[in-house]
């Protein structure tokens, strides 16, 4: 029997769950524990099938819109944020609702509202149709925010008043792509107001930095994540741009095209912010079944961010 080929595995760190995703999952779990099953969840709580299916097994029912949930059961809003009309409708129906919007997305909502209150025209850099973008656009009246997706959009944009402009961004974008769009806007509109602090979240930034640090050494980079996960898709793009021979998004170890690894000697592995660490462990085990593996973790920074749960889940009902 021939010896198995060798594979050096570079494991990016940080990877996987961010604080906002961790909090959102805990919110669904705690809501089920507090109110009993079923608890309804508007949209996927986070963009990962494995997470969604596990929560379904313990009593979560996922719906696309609020009108699919009954008045008498609690509803959770996803980590991506929702238009203001959604909680307003829940209140009108006297529903118990828990908002799992990531606090870093809520920060963008607050910024957009502040600029609007100050009379500024607002530009949102993001991807059309993404739930986070839909939620941010829905914070203000129609037409108050213009969505810009590309450098070309930035160059074509014609504001009402170039002297009264502000921009915010989706939190899960490519750091480099966003910097190019911002540069194009600033070149045309030097007075445009920027966020007080970077809108792209710490976790997106850190996961992209870790992939950049390892990509050039990798024949192949595998990113564990869902095709609906913006931050996971960006990791594939970052890996290719940073010098990886090949990069692919895989939902789990079962989705790996092993033929792509033939002849490779160095494999990079990371996971998007909504992918559980168990999927990383399963992928490493699957690689180990086929190769003589040596695993090296490449860590660019440590993360210690924790977000508090909403008060409705942490207070006991008054006796």
CA angle in degrees (0–180, nearest 5) for 181-303-174: 15
User: What residues are labeled active site?
Assistant: 132
DSSP state of 116: H
DSSP state of 193: B
Q: What are the C-alpha distances in Å from 274 to residues 23, 54, 74, 225, 233?
A: 11, 13, 23, 7, 12
Burial 280-312 (b: 16+ CB within 10 A, else e): bebbbeebeeebebeeeeeebeeeeeebeebeb
CB of 300 within 8 A of CB of 210?
yes
SS3 label, residue 203: helix
CB of 214 within 8 A of CB of 266?
no
């Amino acid at each position: 029997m021939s010896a198995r080929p060798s594979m050096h595995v570079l494991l990016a760190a940080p990877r996987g769950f961010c604080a906002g995703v961790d909090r959102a999952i805990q919110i669904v779990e705690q809501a089920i524990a507090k109110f009993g099953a079923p608890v309804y969840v508007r949209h996927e709580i986070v963009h990962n099938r494995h997470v969604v299916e596990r929560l379904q097994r313990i009593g979560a029912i996922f719906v696309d819109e609020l009108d699919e949930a009954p008045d008498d059961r609690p509803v959770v809003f996803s980590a991506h944020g929702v238009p203001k009309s959604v909680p307003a409708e829940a209140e009108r129906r006297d529903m118990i609702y828990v908002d799992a919007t990531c606090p870093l997305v809520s920060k963008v909502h607050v910024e957009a509202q502040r600029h609007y209150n100050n009379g500024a025209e607002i530009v949102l850099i993001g991807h059309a149709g993404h739930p986070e973008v839909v939620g941010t656009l829905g914070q203000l009246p129609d037409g108050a925010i213009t969505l810009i997706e590309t450098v070309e959009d930035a160059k074509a944009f014609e504001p009402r008043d170039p002297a009264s402009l502000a921009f915010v961004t989706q939190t899960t974008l490519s750091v480099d792509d966003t910097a190019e769009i911002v540069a194009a806007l600033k070149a045309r509109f030097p007075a445009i107001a920027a966020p007080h602090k970077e809108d792209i979240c710490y976790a997106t930034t850190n996961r992209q930095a870790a992939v950049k640090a390892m990509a050039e050494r990798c024949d192949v980079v595998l990113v564990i994540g869902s095709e609906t996960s913006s931050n996971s898709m960006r990791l594939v793009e970052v890996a290719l741009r940073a010098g990886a021979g090949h990069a692919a998004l895989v939902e789990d170890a079962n989705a790996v095209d092993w033929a792509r690894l033939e002849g490779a000697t160095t494999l990079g592995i990371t996971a998007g912010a909504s992918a559980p660490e168990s999927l990383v462990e399963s992928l490493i085990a699957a690689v180990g079944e086929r190769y003589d593996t040596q695993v090296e973790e490449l860590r660019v920074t440590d993360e210690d961010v924790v977000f508090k749960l909403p008060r409705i889940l942490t207070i006991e009902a008054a006796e």
